């Protein structure tokens, strides 16, 4: 019997999940429905779903396993608790089998200035995570949640919310929308979940776990870019995490090429700073191994 693994159908978690499987040596095709990616060299299929639906489908045994952000599971648990006053069928329907080394983010309050949950009394808060918010803010009176499924950061600008409660990864989206991150209510990462009677001795499962347990990739990016030599002090300051970046003069005088390795988690922030400092022709590659 082939195992069915539910994964997010698009977005960053999709990219990282596929990267993890491919990096572990698994190859995939897409079937004609576009919802199933059969693995060509092992007995399992990836099933592409909306992230919110993954815990439900796994709990209902539509899939054996799922990969989802801890934040999604947390929201479901808070929702169940809210409606059932303590009894959660999600909690009994699925188990977290393993933490995965990607999808790191946090659920934070943000606004025009630094805010804590305690500042939200009688305020409107836009969020895709209303139950997580209400769980943490249960002692705060009069919070009006505006539920948005995406682009939450735009709500204050549109005048429909005083603050937001949304996922923050690099912080870029907040910055672009002139919002300041305040109190964090949950730290999240991707997790592998299974339905609660899933047999962890299953041979295919063990093969998958072995393959993904030791990623060949050190989660680094190799960045190459050009910049004016006069900008080097600023650039070297931004990439000061690297002991020995490669700096090469280009044929065009006064221009340099710079090569540097950067942690994947820091990449977007570094990328933004480099662009602001005048880096051009930025080329980014995944690092397979550092030996």
Applying CB under 6 A, the residues found at the interface with ligand PRP are 11, 150-151, 153, 166-173, 268
CB of 19 to ligand PRP, least distance (A): 17
Tokens, residue 245: 């970046």
Angle, CA of 68, 69 and 72, to the nearest 5° = 95
- Closest approach, Cβ 189 to ligand PRP, in A, equals 14
Q: State which residue, 276 or 288, has the beta carbon closest to ligand PRP.
A: 276
Least CB distance to ligand PRP at residue 180 (A)? 13
Q: Which is nearer to ligand PRP, 11 or 25 (CB)?
A: 11
Contact 57, 6 (CB under 8 A): yes
Query: How far is the C-alpha of 13 from the C-alpha of 104, rounded, in Å?
Result: 10
Min dist CB 177 to ligand PRP, Å, is 9
Nearer to ligand PRP, 122 or 184 (CB): 184
CA-to-CA dists, residue 236 to 12, 192, 233, 240, angstroms: 29, 39, 5, 6
22 vs 43: CA distance, rounded Å:
15
Q: How far apart are alpha carbons 286 and 218 in whole angstroms?
A: 9
- Comparing every residue's Cβ against ligand PRP, the nearest one is 150
Residue 71 CB, nearest distance to ligand PRP (Å)? 10
User: Which is closer to ligand PRP, CB of 172 or CB of 248?
Assistant: 172
- Considering beta carbons, is residue 172 or 200 the nearer one to ligand PRP? 172
């Amino acid at each position: 019997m082939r195992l069915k693994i539910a994964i997010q159908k698009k977005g960053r978690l999709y990219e990282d999940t596929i990267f993890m499987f491919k990096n572990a040596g698994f190859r995939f095709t897409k079937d004609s429905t576009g919802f199933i990616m059969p693995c060509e060299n092992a007995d399992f299929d990836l099933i592409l779903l909306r992230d919110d639906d993954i815990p439900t489908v796994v709990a209902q045994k539509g899939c054996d396993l799922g990969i989802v952000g801890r934040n999604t599971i947390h929201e479901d648990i808070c929702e169940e608790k809210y409606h059932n006053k303590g009894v959660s069928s999600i909690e009994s329907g699925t188990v977290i089998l393993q933490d995965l080394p990607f999808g790191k983010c946090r659920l934070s309050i943000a606004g025009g200035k630094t805010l804590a949950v305690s500042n939200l009394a009688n305020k409107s808060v836009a969020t895709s995570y209303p139950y997580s918010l209400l769980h943490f803010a249960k002692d705060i009176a009069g919070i009006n949640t505006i539920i948005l499924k995406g682009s939450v950061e735009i709500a204050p600008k549109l005048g429909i919310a005083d603050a937001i409660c949304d996922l923050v990864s690099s912080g870029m989206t907040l910055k672009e929308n002139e919002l300041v991150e305040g109190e964090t209510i949950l730290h999240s990462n991707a997790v592998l979940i299974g339905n609660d009677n899933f047999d962890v001795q299953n041979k295919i499962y063990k093969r998958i776990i072995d393959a993904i347990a030791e990623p060949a990739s050190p989660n680094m990016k190799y960045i190459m870019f050009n910049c004016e030599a006069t900008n080097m002090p600023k650039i070297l300051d931004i990439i000061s995490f690297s002991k020995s970046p490669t700096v090469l003069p280009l044929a065009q005088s006064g221009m340099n090429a710079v090569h540097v390795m950067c942690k994947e988690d820091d990449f977007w922030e570094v990328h933004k700073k480099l662009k602001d400092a005048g880096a051009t022709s930025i080329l980014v590659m995944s690092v397979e191994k550092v030996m």
